[in-house]
Amino acid sequence: MNSPATPTAALLDRPDVQRGLAWLMLLLILVISWLALSPAPPKQMNLGWDKLNHLSAFATLGLLGRLAWPRRTFAVLLALLAYGAAIEVLQGLVPGRSGEWPDLLADALGLLLGSLASWALSRLLRPAPHDTN
């Protein structure tokens, strides 16, 4: 007999929790968009290196996206990468800002890290099935 999932794992599988994570991700997208498209974002919201800002923001988006839509990983990550590309294009239209390929690379690496963190979290929270023999 398989052991039951841990309470935390069961919590992550609940549709209402996944909906909440999706709303949290939408809120984060709004904050990131504001920061990325502001001519002069607040210095308190800076980690000290622009690429680290991108990496951490997109790692968080990747983690939330995979948790909110666990069966649509590829589509979610692709949409988030397209969002990152759109930010880079739009930054070229903002005075004092510019779009850069290395920023998009940092976004992609962040999505990879967030995805790996989601996978690791899922592995940690879901016990391995036990042999019934």
Tens of pLDDT, residues 26-67: 999 999 999 999 998 888 887 788 899 999 999 999 999 999
Above 50 in pLDDT, residue 1? Answer: no
pTM of the model: 0.84
Mind giving me the DSSP string for 4-34? PPPHHHHHHT-HHHHHHHHHHHHHHHHHHHH
**123 with 71: CB under 8 angstroms?**
no
Q: What per-residue confidence (pLDDT) applies to 43?
A: 81
Q: Number of C-alpha atoms within 13 angstroms, CB side, residue 49?
A: 6
Among 88, 29, 17, 133, smallest CA distance to 8 is for 17
Q: What angle do CA 5, 10, 13 make, to 5 degrees?
A: 130
